[in-house]
Amino acid sequence: MRRVAIIGTGMTEFGELWDLSFRDMGILAGFEALHDANVTSEKIDAMFVGNMSAGRFIDQEHVGALIADYAGLAKTHIPSTRVEAGGASGSLAIRQGFLSIASGMHDIVVVGGAEKMTDVGDDEVMNIQSAAADQEWETVFGATYPSLFALMAHRHMHEYGTTREMMSSVAVKNHKHGSLNPKAQFKREIRPEDVERSPPVSLPIRTLDCAPISDGAAAVVMCPLDMAKNFTDRPIEIIASAQASDTLALNQRKSITEMAATRVAAKRAYEMAKIQPKDVDVAEVHDNFTITEIMAIEDLGFFEKGHGGRASLEGKTGLQGEIAVNTSGGLKSRGDPIGATGVAQIVELVQQLRGKADKRQVPDAKIGLAQNVGGTGATVIIHVLGVGR
Amino acid sequence: MTKTPRYWRENQSRYNMIGAKCANCGKAYFPPRTMCPDCGRKSIGKMEEFKFSGAGKIYSTTVVHEAHEQYDMQKPYIIALIELDEGAKILGQIIDSEPEEVKIGDRVRSTLRKLGEEGKAGIIYYGYKFAKE
């Protein structure tokens, strides 16, 4: 297997981008990544595009070819593949790019992720998000996507004594990080009482426990590590890529206070990277709801099971904490354009490992980890990044 | 939420809580499966129809304030994961109780109710909900 490096990144601002179409966003992020990588478009061998539901958000399917076309690549006829795994679509695209280079099939690969969510009403957004859960046995009975995470949150509170205050601390921390990220959707800090007074969505989850509805795109350029020095002085290597699945419906799981797929994917990733959880300096984890980050930092082994909430409240996951979690602001504050999210996590880690994360830089960051969740944990994908040598 | 699939209207599991039991290991599943995830190919052809009693206890619960359009009239309403006495978990709405009266561990029993309808004067569909015992 060949070693794989990331040599360039690009990303639109995340938010309500009413002046940009789906294809505009994809192209902006892609060109920024190519420019960053010093790669010209005729050198690209293949593309992978992470997207959950362009068909329902903008009535457009076949977006792999669409993005390649508008990137000016129709004339080179490269293979361009759209992949989907609910909220984990972006990191699935990263993983497909990684595998295609590691296998020796392709050399220069562009991986993009994009979602245009604000062309439909909020009600329809919730319908589409819920389609990543089990339509036949969950949503038909009145479950919404947030309500499934509320069931996890309530049980987590019941089993481990996790509190409202602990959940709020995750939102407050991620907004603080987002305020330092020029591309974040929310650049404003919030207080715990803002979270606690925000309207109920599905209790105990309130509006400010939730990631927003976002438009956005992100992209990276990858190549074999031994070619990377031709393009950049500081290639970032993908030292592990792991993916795990679980039952689609929440009710089929033994435990709902953990994501077993996170635990399993993390074990595979740590083995592949030959590291321990404590070696991770900076992590981007899936915080579509505050409880999801609490479960993630436990299931990834950063904190003992049941201690994630307390660790968050005590500031252990902040920029000055034991492990910096969601320095970008996370899904919560950077924004969550579904298919772009997993790629945006990688973009943030690359900035951190290059030492270019500006005001949110984690000093001397050497190992970064990204965890991206589809549905309620039926797909989890983890990547570990390190400085390429 | 999308419209209820047509085949779903004919689905007996939804009206009678019919699941499946693996004749190899005895484990009960809801909804029914054609293969036992624990026994794999040993279970093929050995999954038997199994009717759950509908009784169980609440495993976790939430009060839904932002609902899919067709449930708008009902909100806020209570959703729970229920651990059935025969050993499977199931998701359903809790009715005839106020949110503050519903706690983890409470005993509940299933009842057949209207779930919703496809738009105004559309097809009505039915299924299980749960009430405290």
d(CA A383, CA A11): 19
Residues of A numbered 164-203 whose beta carbons fall under 8 angstroms of chain B's beta carbons: which are they? 199-203
Of the three residues A228, A255, A276, the one that is the final residue of a domain is: A228
- pLDDT tens per residue, range A276-294: 999 999 999 999 999 999 9
- Are residues A158 and B60, on separate chains, in Cβ contact within 8 Å? yes
> Which of A364, A377, A374 lies closest to A264 in space, CA to CA?
A377
- Inform me whether the pLDDT recorded for B13 exceeds 90: no
Question: Same domain for A155 and A258?
Answer: yes
- Best mutation site among A251, A256, A295 for testing chain B: the one with the most B CBs within 10 Å? A251
Whole-prediction pTM = 0.97
The beta-carbon neighbor of B62 closest among A135, A139, A150 is A150
Q: How many other C-beta atoms can be found within 10 angstroms of the C-beta atom of residue A121? A: 11
> Is the CB of B60 less than 8 angstroms away from the CB of A147?
no
The helix (H) or strand (E) run that includes residue A52 is none
Q: Give me the phi and psi of B14, to 5 degrees please.
A: -75, -25
Asked whether A221 and A108 are in contact (CB, 8 A), the reply is yes
When the pLDDT of each residue in chain A is averaged and rounded to a whole number, the result is: 97
CATH class of B53-133: mainly beta
Q: What are phi and psi of A200, to 5 degrees?
A: -70, 140
Contact state of B60 with A202 under an 8 Å Cβ cutoff: no
- Residue the block writes with tokens 């009693």: B53
Considering only CA atoms, which of A219, A237, A241 is closest in space to residue A39? A219
**Which residues, including other chains, have CB under 8 Å from residue B24's CB and lie 6 or more apart?**
B36, B39, B42, B43, B46
Distance CA A190, CA A168 (A): 10
CB A88 within 8 A of CB A372: yes
Q: Which DSSP string corresponds to A307-376?
A: -HHHHHHTTTTSTTSSSEE-TT-HHHHH---HHHHHHHHHHHHHHHHHT--GGGPPTT--EEEEEEEETT
Is residue B1 scored above 50 in pLDDT? no
Domain membership of residue A38 (yes or no) is yes
pLDDT above 70 as % of chain A: 100
Q: Which residues of A touch B2 (CB under 8 A)?
A: 127, 131, 135
Q: What is the pLDDT of residue A241?
A: 98
pLDDT, mean of residues B55-84 = 94
For the segment A72-88, the average pLDDT, to the nearest whole number, is 96
Q: Please indicate, yes or no, whether residues A81 and A204 belong to a single structural domain of this protein.
A: no
Least trusted range by pLDDT, from A140-149, A350-359, B110-119: B110-119
Q: Residues A22, A157: one domain?
A: no
pLDDT, position A311:
98
Q: Are residues A79 and A172 both part of a single domain?
A: no
Given A201, A228, A255, the domain boundary residue is A228
A257 — contact with chain B (CB < 8 Å)?
A: no
Q: Do A130 and B68 touch (CB under 8 A)?
A: yes
Burial of residue A77, with CB atoms counted within 10 A of its CB: 0-12 exposed, 13-18 middle, 19 or more buried: exposed
A327 inside domain: yes
State pLDDT tens for residues A295-342: 999 999 999 999 999 999 999 999 999 999 999 999 999 999 999 999
Residue A233 lies in a domain: no
- Indicate whether A243 and A351 sit together in one domain: yes
Chain B residues inside the 8 Å CB shell of A251: 81, 88-91
In this prediction, residue A146 carries a pLDDT of: 97
Q: Cβ of A254 under 8 Å from any chain B Cβ?
A: no
Whole-number pLDDT of residue B9: 67
DSSP lists the bridge partners of residue A380 as A244, A373
Q: Among A102, A247, A41, which Cα is nearest to B37's?
A: A247
Do residue A297 and residue A331 come from a single domain? yes
Q: Where do the structural domains in chain B lie, given as residue ranges?
A: 12-51, 53-133
CB contact under 8 A, B60 and A252: no
pLDDT of residue A120: 95
Sign of the dihedral defined by the CA atoms of residues A291, A297, A298, A303, in that order: negative
| Residue-level pLDDT at B70 | 81
**Which of B31, B71, B77 lies nearest to residue A137, judging by beta carbons?**
B31
Q: For A138-181, write each residue's pLDDT tens digit.
A: 988 999 999 999 999 999 999 999 999 999 999 999 999 999 99
Q: How far apart are the first and last CA of chain B?
A: 30
| Domain assignment of residue A53, given as a range | 4-121+214-228
The answer to whether residue B58 scores a pLDDT higher than 70 is: yes
Q: Is A143 helix (H, G, I), strand (E, B) or coil?
A: coil
DSSP state of A135: T
A246: which DSSP letter?
Answer: -
Q: Which residues of B touch A205 (CB under 8 A)?
A: 62
Where among A197, A228, A259 does a domain terminate? A228
* Same domain? A197 vs A341: yes
Whether B111 and chain A come into contact, CB under 8 Å, resolves to no
Smallest CA–CA distance, residue B70 to chain A, in Å, is 9
The number of C-beta contacts closer than 8 angstroms across A and B is 106
Pair A381, A292 in one domain: yes
Q: Are A138 and A95 found together in one domain?
A: no
The residues pairing with B50 across neighbouring beta strands, listed in sequence order, are B19
Q: How many CA atoms lie within 13 A of A342 on its CB side?
A: 36
Chain B neighbors of A155, CB-CB under 8 A: 59-60, 81, 104
pLDDT of residue A388: 80
